[in-house]
Amino acid sequence: MCYNRPASLGADGGESIYTRLTHEILTGGLNMSVLTGACIIGLSGGPTSVINASFYGAVTTALNTPEITAVLAAEHGIKGVLNNVLFDMRQEDPEELKLLMNTPSAAVGSCRYKLADPSKDSADYNRILETFKQHNVRYFFYIGGNDSMDTCEKIGRFLNYTGYECRVIGIPKTIDNDLYGTDHCPGFGSAAKYIATSCMEVSMDSAVYDTGAITVMEIMGRHAGWLAGSAGLASHFGAGPDLVYLPEIAFDVERFLDDVLELYKRKGSVFAAVSEGIHDNNGVFISDYAAAGDSAKDAFGHVRLGGLAAYLAAIVKQKTDAKVRGIELSLLQRCAAHCASQVDISEAFTAGEYAVKAALNGESGKMAAFEREDGESYKCSPVLLPLEAVANLEKKVPLDWINKSGNGITREFIDYTLPLIQGEPCRATDCSLPRFANLQKIRVY
């Protein structure tokens, strides 16, 4: 079995410039001067079941670095920097910090806050600079997805313009797996594992009666279908969706009905998995059909999706006498730490650790990423990518990883995803319930 990365990720068949740069960083080959000062670590965007592992990787590495005089965590991401609400991580119990490795959500809070272009509106940036100067912050680490890397890039650009020396490194996080340039993103493996596991369980449950049943499961993913495609892992292992629809292929409701009804006539039951971001030929989200024009948006202008499974289930019900269910996994996909991948947890920690080491060796304006080696066995190494080459770009599922009918995935998708969901974490429990980190969050002034 060959675990190849998507062709769109730019594999060059040899040692990349990022791999060479990484070697120089870790061996001290860049010969950068030592920069002494505090660091701020922030979390941004939708949380995952492993974002705290990245946070812990950055925190524990910074705590053990003499050049970093204070390790500060921003409450609710960049908002904490703007409001000067920062927590002193040196005052946390080290044993409690270790529990972050298996704690879901975002331990110090997250946010969705869009910074303006610094060349047009510098108000927020001036406030950020004021906070940095007050605490002598010389290192800034931001954990997040596409929009968070945009925030990171803008801050780095502004600091360069003002001449304030501070190294800025982005740490990848998103269950959507749509960050450009990196082979995969911490958070995806665990979400994919949860989705595949849940699909296997639902598949078994939905077939228990001798009456016809049609199940439609809605899975996260706005423009990239990595999560919905993960439902296909369940099918590959014998119990999963009959149909899988990704947003990379335009969705036709009538064709969907034809697919479902044909299978129902032949099998007596159907299980379909659909990405929340499926859209028609005009780019209109199918969920908008159900929302009746509701155009609520988040801070970055993204339409809030939802209600797709219920809508598709309702139109299927009109055409059949089957028992029809619409299931929306919703937040469970990103907080199911009980079903996390140990590979994902370990790589999330590595991303945080690597980011701090890179900054200490003089790097700035970069994002920690992962580069997969071609071959029969899975091997991935951390690398650096320029923030401007990552921010606001999306990595989608290659079209040749989707079947010709547009309603399933190919073996290439399975081979890519399987290594990322491996391993069962060893978690602390209390009376058979998970024991999560409980930080003191002592504020600095």
Coil, helix or strand at residue 303: strand
What whole-number distance in Å separates Cα of residue 338 and Cα of residue 98?
A: 17
Residue 26 has pLDDT above 90, yes or no: no
pLDDT-derived band at 28, boundaries 50, 70, 90: very low
For residue 289, the model assigns a pLDDT of 85
Q: Is the dihedral of CA 60, 63, 64, 67 positive or negative?
A: positive
Q: Which fold has domain 7-185+337-394+421-444?
A: Rossmann fold (3.40.50)
Structure tokens at 218: 């809605």
What whole-number distance in Å separates Cα of residue 26 and Cα of residue 18?
A: 12
Q: Which CATH code for domain 188-333?
A: 3.40.50.460
For residue 292, the model assigns a pLDDT of 57
% of the chain surpassing 90 pLDDT: 84
Residue 18 has pLDDT above 50, yes or no: no
Residue 358 has pLDDT above 70, yes or no: yes
What whole-number distance in Å separates Cα of residue 61 and Cα of residue 96?
A: 16
Report residue 238 CA to chain centroid gap: 27
Query: Mind listing the pLDDT tens digit for each residue in 166-176?
Result: 999 999 999 99
Answer whether 7-185+337-394+421-444 and 188-333 agree in fold. yes
- Please state, as a whole number, how many other Cβ atoms lie within 10 Å of the Cβ of residue 423: 16
Place of tokens 């980190």: 437
Residue 23 has pLDDT above 50, yes or no: no
Q: Which of 215-219, 237-241, 388-392 has the lowest mean pLDDT?
A: 388-392
Residue 185 has pLDDT above 60, yes or no: yes
Contact 137, 40 (CB under 8 A): yes
Residue 254 has pLDDT above 80, yes or no: yes
pTM here?
A: 0.89
pLDDT-derived band at 306, boundaries 50, 70, 90: low
Query: Mind listing the pLDDT tens digit for each residue in 146-162?
Result: 999 999 999 999 999 99
Residue 1 has pLDDT above 60, yes or no: no
Q: What are phi and psi of 198, to 5 degrees?
A: -65, -40
What are the DSSP E strand ranges found in 220-275?
A: 243-245, 269-275
What whole-number distance in Å separates Cα of residue 12 and Cα of residue 5?
A: 11
Residues, the chain: 445
Q: What is the CA radius of gyration of the chain?
A: 22
Residue 258 has pLDDT above 80, yes or no: yes
Contact 108, 73 (CB under 8 A): yes
Residue 25 has pLDDT above 80, yes or no: no
Residue 225 has pLDDT above 70, yes or no: yes
Query: Mind listing the pLDDT tens digit for each residue in 308-348?
Result: 999 999 999 999 989 999 999 999 999 999 999 999 999 99
pLDDT-derived band at 207, boundaries 50, 70, 90: confident
For residue 10, the model assigns a pLDDT of 35
For residue 34, the model assigns a pLDDT of 86
Contact 148, 306 (CB under 8 A): no
% of the chain surpassing 70 pLDDT: 89
Q: Which residue has the higher pLDDT, 98 or 9?
A: 98
Contact 279, 430 (CB under 8 A): no
Please report how many Cα atoms fall inside a 13 Å half-sphere around the Cα of residue 28, on the Cβ side: 2
Q: What is the mean pLDDT of residues 48-68?
A: 98
Q: What is the mean pLDDT of the chain?
A: 90
Residue 13 has pLDDT above 70, yes or no: no
Structure tokens at 406: 């547009």
Residue 16 has pLDDT above 70, yes or no: no
What whole-number distance in Å separates Cα of residue 195 and Cα of residue 228?
A: 8
Residue closest to 372 by CA, chosen among 418, 340, 409, 411: 418
- The residues that are catalytic are 176
CA distances to 60, 301, 352, 417 from 185, in Å:
21, 23, 12, 11
Coil, helix or strand at residue 187: coil
Structure tokens at 262: 């044909």
For residue 209, the model assigns a pLDDT of 85
Residue closest to 207 by CA, chosen among 265, 256, 267: 267
Residue 9 has pLDDT above 80, yes or no: no
Q: What is the mean pLDDT of residues 243-255?
A: 97
Q: Domains of the chain: which residue ranges?
A: 7-185+337-394+421-444, 188-333
Coil, helix or strand at residue 318: coil
